Chain A
Amino acid sequence: MRRFEWTAALAAAAMVLLAGCGGQLAGGGGGTSSAPIVVDLIGTFSGQNADLGSWAWNGVKLAIDGANAKGGVNGRKITLQKYDDQGQPTVGTDLAQRAISDRATMVYGSDLSTVSLAMIPTLTSAKIPQITSGQAPAILAQGSSFIFLDSTTSAVFDQTLADYLVQKQHITSIAMVSNNDAYGKGEHDSFLAELTKLAVTPTVDKVVTPDQKDFTSVLTEVRATNPKALFIGAEEVETGLIAKQARSLGITATFTGGAPMGTPTYLQTAGADVAEGTIMTSPYLDNDANAKTRAFAAAYRKAYGQDPELHGAKAYDGMNVFIAAMRKAQPDLGGQRLVDAVRAIEYDGLLGHFKYDERGLGLHATQIGTIKAGKVTPI
């Protein structure tokens, strides 16, 4: 009799435990429950590119706070968790594993193409949708149906930029300096391909490392070719350092490049006098562009006490695309359903019109801007 009581008690305990686990399982990634939806933001919050992480956080959080204030996704709140990948691919993959154990519905990250690339296999095999601030064409070339870009690729950026420089400004004497991480390589390959299409050969084409700080040797070679424009394909701080050192070596070329040049970090690193006249391509150049950007900028200033820039804006757009997709896919937010929903919707954001294709590219156009009196201005 006593043995029977013990067995019954154990069986009851096991049932309670199982029921608990069941609830837990349903609460995670794909389930249909009223538990909060977990979004993991894996960003670069330390090191030279730390600004990127904090901008992404600001944009994503603003979008999620806005959605939660309106009742979340059909009554389910969205919770945002923050992880620092330190700009290291190995840390990034480790955090991707963490996202699996967090039962994250989706991952926002990372800010660097190199880290984003490293995370793709882990997240894709776990069917966790991933949206990244990275722009390297290599990200889309992975062929994963779970990866999305929150803006556009270097191919689109550099086509717009090369067309503007060569066809509108008739500048054909262009030198190139880019770094050899995934972003820099993407910028290099895309810009060079566009120049080749336009029958322009760069006066010199130099590659540096992402951690390099002294560019004297490379810039000496650039100076010897006396280019009209210097294309820089690197992240914000490195781009600023290259521009600053180029001017101090007497290079008078116009600096030109991608979205990093439209950020306050570039302006501050290079110095306002050096950055003046820089020509860049970016899908978000102006907080006063329209009613939507003005409203976003006002909310951003209220929340963080600073002006938004491209990275905060695109993170806000990217997260809002996913929130809209969650609303469409609910009550089942499983990975496959969610990515199908992202591809099924269209979204008019701060950066433009988003319509995601099979590869994960949603935004297909960008603009040209310049730095005038220390301020990024659309052309």
Chain B
Amino acid sequence: MIGLAQTIVGGLSMGAVYALVAMGFAIVYRTIGLVNFAHADVVMIGAYVTVTFYLTARLPFGVSLALAVGLTAVMGLAMERVLRPLEGRDLDLMLIGTIGFGIVLESVAILVWGSFGTAVPTPIPNVPLHVGGVIVTTYQLLVVAVSAVVMVVLFLFLDRTRLGTAMQAAAMDRVAATAMGVDVGAANALAFAIGSAIAAVAGALVGPLLYVSPGMGASIGIKGFAAAILGGFGSIPGAIVGGLIFGLIEAFSSGPLSAYADLITFVVFALAMMVRQTGIFGERTGDRA
């Protein structure tokens, strides 16, 4: 029983990170209808920028994280600006463009930080807390707390503010939204900026849990992407639930047969998708023609 609870704790803390990554995928998809394949590498850049400010410039972790969020948001804006001529014309070309951006980001990371990785110490003393026989570390709590705050803020922004509604409108009908005075270009740019900023938060949080390297985006990105699909691609609550469930599936499958954890995780994922093709929350965003 304690083992079960322990597995759930581990699964939830990684799941929170997957949820953040999934939200970044989802927000760009629900606004533009585009899968941003550079997203995983933005997570990696966010992790590296945070680590650089935190370990090299010796700034507090929170400040480093904020700087990384700002920097990746600007990077997201730049990415959208380059891809803007294709918006509303050819999503396939945009998609290929994001793959290109991903490759560029990874290469830049290798040039700047080297091809090897770096281990990151936890920013707060990582004390194991005993809760009824289950061990929860202080850093796991921090990861879950920060993720929760980001999720709530983003959900409220999209659901309760005029700007958030405008972004939703731009996604549903580009022409009608423009006629109603919504600046579709700005909405798209904002989606990219927010997605990239969240990616930086995910990267910064996951660094001390795992390991920061130019290739880290690939493994976290594919799981975040799968989580977004599991939740219902384009849905923010879906991304959150999908991320947490994906973290749990991974945690449970890595217990008994850890050497085959990824295999089991993705087989379970594939089975889940066969049962419910639209994901848990279905698709909430309408026509994206």
Contact = CB atoms under 8 A, between A and B. Distances in A.
Interface in B250-281: 250-252, 254-255, 258-259, 261-262
Contacts of B137: 248-249
A207 B261 CA distance: 10
B7 interface: yes
A46 B251 contact: no
A271 interface: yes
Contact of B261 (A46, A212, A223): A212
A204 B178 CA distance: 63
B165 interface: no
Interface stretch (B90-98, B111-119, B155-163, B191-199): B111-119
Interface stretch (B28-36, B73-81, B169-177, B210-218): B210-218
Interface string B9-48: 1110010000000000000000000000000000000000
Given A224-B3, A249-B135, A250-B128, A48 B255 contact: no
B139 interface: yes
A211 interface: yes
A217 B10 contact: yes
B91 to A, nearest CB: 32
Interface stretch (A236-244, A334-342, A344-352): A236-244
A221 B119 contact: no
B128 A217 contact: no
B115 to A, nearest CB: 3
A48 B14 CA distance: 21
Interface in B108-126: 110, 114-117, 119, 121-122, 126
Nearest to A84: B115
A293 interface: no
Nearest to B257: A207
Contact of B116 (A50, A211, A223): A50
Given A48-B116, A240-B119, A209 B211 contact: no
B89 interface: no
A263 to B, nearest CB: 13
B58 interface: no
B219 interface: yes
Contacts of B258: 206-209, 212, 215, 217-218
Contacts of A224: 2-3
B6 interface: yes
Contacts, number: 97
A213 B211 contact: yes
A223 B7 CA distance: 12
B209 interface: yes
A45 B261 CA distance: 28
A216 interface: yes
Contacts of B250: 214
A270 B115 CA distance: 20
A268 interface: yes
Contacts of A249: 128, 135, 137
B210 A213 contact: yes
Given A48-B213, A249-B128, A217 B254 contact: yes
Interface in A192-238: 206-209, 211-218, 220-221, 223-224, 237
Contacts of A211: 219
A237 B119 CA distance: 8
Size category of the binding interface on chain B: 35 or more
Given A207-B258, A208-B259, A216 B251 contact: yes
Contacts of A45: 115
Contact of A248 (B7, B128, B215, B219): B128
A68 interface: no
Contacts of B2: 224
B7 A220 contact: yes
B115 A220 contact: no
Contacts of A48: 116-117, 211, 213
Given A206-B258, A248-B126, A250-B135, A220 B3 contact: yes
Contacts of A237: 117, 119, 211
Given A46-B115, A237-B211, A248-B126, A220 B6 contact: yes
B131 to A, nearest CB: 12
A211 B110 CA distance: 19
Nearest to A213: B210
B155 to A, nearest CB: 26
A46 B116 contact: yes
B219 A217 contact: no
Nearest to B115: A46
B254 A244 contact: no
Contacts of A367: none
A221 B255 contact: yes
Interface centre among A215, A217, A223, A237 (most CB of B within 10 A): A217
A95 B139 CA distance: 43
A222 B117 CA distance: 27
B126 to A, nearest CB: 5
B10 A47 contact: no
A209 B139 CA distance: 24
A174 B101 CA distance: 48
A221 B261 contact: no
Contacts of A208: 258-259
Interface of B: 2-3, 6-7, 9-11, 14, 110, 114-117, 119, 121-122, 126, 128, 130, 135, 137, 139, 209-211, 213, 215, 219, 250-252, 254-255, 258-259, 261-262
Given A46-B110, A212-B258, 4 more contacts: A45-B115, A47-B115, A217-B254, A223-B135
